[in-house]
Amino acid sequence: MILILHPNTSSTSDEYQQLQQFLAQLPKIKTQTHEVKGAQQTLTEIYLIGDTASLVLEDMKDLPTVERVIRISDDYRILGRHKDDKRASSFAYNGVTFSQDNLHIFAGLCAVDNKEHVEKMMQALQSQGQVCARMGAYKPRSNPYSFQGHGKNCLPYVFELAGKYDIKVIAMEITHDSHIQEINQALQQTGHPTGVMLQIGTRNTQNFELLKAAGKQTNYPILLKRGFGITLEESLNAAEYLASEGNSNVIFALRGMKTNMGDPHRNFIDFAQVPVVKRLTRMPVCIDPSHSVGSRETSPDNIMDVFHVTAQGIIAGANMVLVDFHPHPSSALVDGPQALRLNELPYFIEDCVIAREAYEKRKKLNIRFQKESAIV
């Protein structure tokens, strides 16, 4: 059960203290308090965990400072959607709002290789009106002898160049909790010219200690990739780990699944599950067409598979696209074969806009259909 308090309830107010005293004496029930900081107001949510079946919803609504009460099932307590659940499915970070109702493109380097390429990428993004980017500094590689990323050494110039070109949020994978500290330090050292969304990759979806470390901090939102060889439920539970530690600013990324069925793509594309994740949880949903397709193959219509699957995800309501670009893919140190080129950026963005418009039209069509079928 979740008690949602009136906005901006102070934890020092008498009423709040009365509520806490009442909850403390409930048998076999533990409480967990989460503060959800929005642009305008702070919402306090109190999670009651344990034997809540005996609690009467109406009685709980009458408690001091309580505005609403939601009875929740065991699954995805914080991030999930529950019956009569009207909690927000959005959050704001560094001036950018992430929501189940909008769309952001995070194009950029799979792996940062040098300053010149970072600058070219940032410049191209700004010229297309983009405020988000992807930049890999810590690269988990299958082969121990492959380039592992420049790590903390590249962070100062990546952040400074992001600031120079007005990039507000960089999605950056971390593979160890010490990387959070390194990002903190580099942002501090450079005067916070940009923001960071911590990315947890598909190889770490169930790295519970990393999830706990990322979930404990609330400076940065988190982009959690779906595990490529586990069930959707297991991946959504991994997201819930982040929230249960205190950070519910989480975006869930679909990036394809590993199969042994001789697929034409690097991974089996799972973007048909965008609406499913939005139905089960309140997380905005990201698609990663680069790591799922893994090539620049085109179909007879001359359109690249990367473009096709991006459009398929967006037309199904995706809220974020994470996509590899590189100024010189042939010299990229990681994932060159799947990278799009800078001259393709405006076309990629326009293609995304077309698919998004189609999604908006589909939503309108559905509203019309619902209305018309209600009359009949």
Residue pair 322/290 in contact by the 8 Å Cβ criterion: yes
| Cβ proximity of 199 and 171 under 8 Å | yes
Q: Is 136 in the site for ligand PEP (CB under 6 A)?
A: yes
Partner from Mn ion, ligand PEP, none binding residue 225, C-beta < 5-8 Å depending on class: ligand PEP
User: Which C-beta is closer to ligand PEP: that of 48 or that of 110?
Assistant: 110
Size of residue set near ligand PEP by CB under 6 A: 9
Lookup result for tokens 């189609």 = 358
Which tokens belong to 363?
């939503």
Q: Which listed option, ligand PEP, Mn ion, none, makes contact with residue 255 (CB within 5 to 8 Å by class)?
A: ligand PEP
Number of H helices, E strands in the chain: 11, 14
What's the alpha-carbon Rg for the chain, to the nearest Å?
22
Q: Which is nearer to Mn ion, 110 or 352 (CB)?
A: 110
Closest to ligand PEP by CB, 240 or 288: 288
Specify the residue, 159 or 228, whose C-beta has the smaller distance to ligand PEP.
228
Shortest approach of Mn ion to residue 173 CB, angstroms? Answer: 9
Report d(CA 224, CA 235) in Å as an integer: 9
195 binds, among Mn ion, ligand PEP, none (CB under 5 to 8 A by kind): none
In the region spanning residues 321 to 340, those forming contacts with Mn ion, defined by CB under 5 A, are 335
Residues β-bridged to residue 5: 66
Shortest separation between residue 169's beta carbon and Mn ion, angstroms:
19
Nearer to ligand PEP, 47 or 98 (CB): 98
Residue 244 near residue 211 (C-beta atoms within 8 A)? no
- Binder among 168, 179, 255, 278 for ligand PEP (CB under 6 A): 255
Three-point CA angle 177, 181, 182, nearest 5° = 105
Q: Of residues 72, 103, 105, 110, which one binds ligand PEP by CB under 6 A?
A: 110
Q: 202 is in the binding site of which of ligand PEP, Mn ion, none (Cβ under 5 to 8 A by kind)?
A: ligand PEP
- Is 179 an interacting residue with respect to ligand PEP (CB under 6 A)? no
Q: How far is the CB of 111 from ligand PEP (least distance, A)?
A: 7
Quote the CA–CA distance of 304 and 343 in Å, as a whole number: 14
Q: Which is nearer to Mn ion, 46 or 257 (CB)?
A: 257
| Whole-angstrom distance, CA of residue 32 vs CA of residue 46 | 6
Contact 154, 117 (CB under 8 A): no
Residues ≥6 apart with Cβ < 8 Å to 259: 267, 268
110 binds Mn ion (CB under 5 A): yes
Residues numbered 208-247 forming contacts with ligand PEP, rule: CB under 6 A: 225
Q: Are strands 250-254 and 29-37 parallel, antiparallel or unpaired?
A: unpaired
- Candidates 45, 113, 173, 305; binder of ligand PEP (CB under 6 A) is 173
Beta bridge partners of 280: none
Alpha helices (H) along 197-329: 208-216, 232-244, 274-280, 289-293, 305-315
Nearer to Mn ion, 79 or 109 (CB): 109
Toward Mn ion, which CB reaches closer, 160 or 335?
335
Contacts with Mn ion by CB under 5 A lie at 110, 335
Contacts with ligand PEP by CB under 6 A lie at 110, 136, 173, 201-202, 225, 255, 288, 291
